[in-house]
Amino acid sequence: MSLVLPPDVTQASLERTLDELRGVVGAGHVLTSPADLLEYRDPFWHLSWDDYEAAAVVAPQSVEEIQAIVRIANERRVPLWTTSQGRNNGYGGSSPRVRGSVIVNLRRMNRVLEIDPELGFAEVEPGVRWFDLYEAIQAGGHDLMLSCADLGWGSVIGNSLDHGCTYLPYGVDFGAPCGMEVVLANGEVMRTGMGAMPGNRAWHVYKRGLGPTADQLFMQSNYGIVTKMGVWLMPAPECYMPIWVRAWRDDDVAPMLDTLRRLSMDGTLRMVPQVANTLIFASFQTRRTQWWDGEGPIPDARIDHIARELEVGRWLMRAALYGDEAVVEHRFAKVKAAFEAIPGVEVWGTKTTPQEAAGMPSPAERIQGGVPDLDMNFMTGWYGGEAAGGHVGFSPVAPMTGRDGLKVRDLMRSLIEQKANLDYLGAMLAINARSFVHVTMVIFDTSNEPQVRAAYDTCKLLVTEAAKHGYGEYRAHLDFMDLAVEQFSFSDNVQRRFNEAIKDALDPNGILSPGKQAIWPASMRDGGGLRDA
């Protein structure tokens, strides 16, 4: 059988490596056939090009097995690419940056190791999905809410490590993770923060340690394989109230963001709202063909029509209040008055309880109630339908001001419409009171190769154009990860060279996820690293 080879590795050496890996995890947990590997490819990137194809998938079941895998990879100089569930869709799915890498998939490590109802945290393994943790909380009868991502099939750890957004109060500034266990590139097991002290029960409750704190160093990086993580869970409040804010004019997004900033900074809203445009909401529940069969992107008049038909407006914000009923009522009145001061804007909400969230009809209202599902995945079929839908995310960060909202919208829309000839679907995620991530869903039909290529090419153009205006990505697809990091060029890209210096120190053979976040090991780059003093 012909294998996809990583750089500088022979077929014979790779075959021996795979045999050794089979010895560690069992033959059934090393996959090499094209059919088996299909599931681990970028789901929207399977046309004629194969830059991000893996050699194999290995699925360990324990920390010790991961240690053994890492040791073999060091000996054989075979690059690994770690995934938890591998649902990083829109950013590359399970695919490795370096062709021929062996994917280490952690789905089999799927235990919820602990739920502490008194201190409100869980300890999970990387294979635990939002669905699994939610179910474990319910099964334990705990009155705790999980701040979850939009799609429940993702790994709690995997999503957190990629700075993935969640929406409840602990989603603000990615606040839920606390304390990790990590297998380092040399095979040693480290616990971060207070976990570095044997028997210390503050590991998952205090966010730092004595000395520098490593947790954020293991996020969006390739410095280790995270095998356990603490996740904070919020006590269920008396009242849960999803709220909606609807605007009918495209430029209303500016006063909406300014109002949202004020209400978030003063603590009235404390969670992660999403302000999304008409076509985002249309894609949740309809197909594009239902609305438009003309040439090019859907024009404004037609968008206005969809806005009215679906009653989603030109911009619709989802948000929620949590707390005692009296406080929620006070705050809702405040939110309503503040947004309705913008002419034409409407605000409504449903006062309910966390226990009722699972039964609410809107996926947004379930997600904000901590109940994971998969409904939003429907949007991927906007162009290609269920079989051929695909998307790539372009997601810059901006200060939370109306001025920035308009600037980012105009930049995204003009390039996506004019260069990719696609619709502009934009959602602004208010990651904290002061900044938002503009997730641009560039949706395409994967069976239409020119369209796919135009989508990716336009994203690359967006990376550089956004950087000219001072906007940088919060997360980047494999195909323009290097380009996105290159824009962070202050002082001759010293941040990247700083990351490289740390990479060289922690992983001298460069076996862990080389190229992730443009962090390349010395053997795969020219120069780089920090300069001598």
Rule CB under 8 A: choose which of 146, 168, 194, 430 binds a second copy. Answer: 194
- 454-465 in b/e burial notation, b at 16+ Cβ within 10 A? bbbebbebbbeb
Q: Which residues contact 444 (CB under 8 A, 6 or more apart)?
A: 44, 383, 384, 390, 391, 392, 422, 451, 452, 454, 455
**What's the min distance (Å) between Cβ of 370 and a second copy?**
15
**Residue 33 interacts with a second copy (CB under 8 A): yes or no:** no
Rule CB under 8 A: choose which of 63, 310, 506, 522 binds a second copy. Answer: 506
Active-site residue identified among 41, 191, 366, 475: 475
**Residue 484 interacts with a second copy (CB under 8 A): yes or no:** yes
**Residue 470 interacts with a second copy (CB under 8 A): yes or no:** yes
Identify which range of 102-110, 127-135, 280-288, 316-324 contacts a second copy by CB under 8 A.
Answer: 316-324
Residue 174 gets which letter from DSSP? G
C-beta separation of 467 from 485 below 8 A = no
What stretches of 413-457 adopt beta strand conformation (E)? Answer: 425-432, 435-445
Number of C-beta neighbours around residue 344 at 10 A? 11
**What's the min distance (Å) between Cβ of 175 and a second copy?**
8
Alpha-carbon Rg of the chain, whole angstroms? 23
Q: Are strands 102-105 and 80-83 parallel, antiparallel or unpaired?
A: parallel
**What's the min distance (Å) between Cβ of 302 and a second copy?**
33
Residues 148-187 that bind a second copy (CB under 8 A): 163, 169, 173-175, 184-187
The residue type found at 158 is G
Rule CB under 8 A: choose which of 16, 46, 208, 460 binds a second copy. Answer: 208
The residue type found at 322 is Y
Q: Between 28 and 198, whose beta carbon lies closer to a second copy?
A: 198
C-beta separation of 3 from 55 below 8 A = yes
Residue 194 gets which letter from DSSP? G
Identify which range of 32-40, 112-120, 149-157, 300-308 contacts a second copy by CB under 8 A.
Answer: 112-120
**Residue 361 interacts with a second copy (CB under 8 A): yes or no:** no
- 90-111 in b/e burial notation, b at 16+ Cβ within 10 A? bbbbbbbbbbbbbbbbbbbbbe
**Residue 235 is encoded by which pair of tokens?**
């006590």
**Residue 459 interacts with a second copy (CB under 8 A): yes or no:** no
Residue 251 gets which letter from DSSP? G
Q: Which residues contact 65 (CB under 8 A, 6 or more apart)?
A: 24, 25
Identify which range of 98-106, 361-369, 453-461, 488-496 contacts a second copy by CB under 8 A.
Answer: 488-496
475 assigned to active site: yes
**What's the min distance (Å) between Cβ of 71 and a second copy?**
6
Q: Between 33 and 531, whose beta carbon lies closer to a second copy?
A: 531
**Residue 476 interacts with a second copy (CB under 8 A): yes or no:** yes
Q: Between 34 and 235, whose beta carbon lies closer to a second copy?
A: 235
**Residue 387 interacts with a second copy (CB under 8 A): yes or no:** no
Q: Which residues contact 111 (CB under 8 A, 6 or more apart)?
A: 124, 125, 127, 128
**Residue 131 interacts with a second copy (CB under 8 A): yes or no:** no
Q: Between 9 and 184, whose beta carbon lies closer to a second copy?
A: 184
**Residue 112 interacts with a second copy (CB under 8 A): yes or no:** no
Q: Between 12 and 533, whose beta carbon lies closer to a second copy?
A: 533
**Residue 102 interacts with a second copy (CB under 8 A): yes or no:** no
SS3 460: helix
How far is residue 373's CA from residue 358's CA, in Å, rounded to a whole number? 10
Residues 211-230 that bind a second copy (CB under 8 A): 211-221, 223
Q: Between 388 and 502, whose beta carbon lies closer to a second copy?
A: 502
What mask of x and - would describe binding to a second copy in positions 414 to 433, judged by CB under 8 A? -----------------xxx
**What's the min distance (Å) between Cβ of 115 and a second copy?**
14
Residues 56-75 that bind a second copy (CB under 8 A): 70-71, 74-75
**Residue 248 interacts with a second copy (CB under 8 A): yes or no:** no
**Residue 195 interacts with a second copy (CB under 8 A): yes or no:** yes
91 assigned to active site: yes
**Residue 334 interacts with a second copy (CB under 8 A): yes or no:** yes
Rule CB under 8 A: choose which of 356, 434, 449, 464 binds a second copy. Answer: 434
Distances (CA, A) of 39 to 120, 294, 384, 449: 35, 34, 19, 20
Q: Which of 196, 206, 202, 13 shows the shortest CA–CA distance to 100?
A: 13
**What's the min distance (Å) between Cβ of 189 and a second copy?**
5
**Residue 254 interacts with a second copy (CB under 8 A): yes or no:** no
**Residue 398 interacts with a second copy (CB under 8 A): yes or no:** yes
How far is residue 143's CA from residue 357's CA, in Å, rounded to a whole number? 13
For the chain, the helix, strand and coil percentages under 3-state DSSP, each to the nearest 5: 40, 20, 40
Rule CB under 8 A: choose which of 9, 376, 501, 524 binds a second copy. Answer: 501
Q: Between 387 and 533, whose beta carbon lies closer to a second copy?
A: 533
**Residue 472 interacts with a second copy (CB under 8 A): yes or no:** yes
What is the C-alpha end-to-end distance of the chain, expressed in Å?
50
**Residue 113 interacts with a second copy (CB under 8 A): yes or no:** no
Q: Which of 116, 154, 119, 162 shows the shortest CA–CA distance to 136?
A: 116
What stretches of 238-341 adopt beta strand conformation (E)? Answer: 239-247, 274-277, 315-323
40 assigned to active site: no
Identify which range of 10-18, 79-87, 301-309, 495-503 contacts a second copy by CB under 8 A.
Answer: 495-503
Q: How many H helices and E strands in the chain?
A: 15, 19
SS3 468: helix
**Residue 189 interacts with a second copy (CB under 8 A): yes or no:** yes
Active-site residue identified among 91, 167, 383, 456: 91
Residues that are catalytic: 91, 474-475
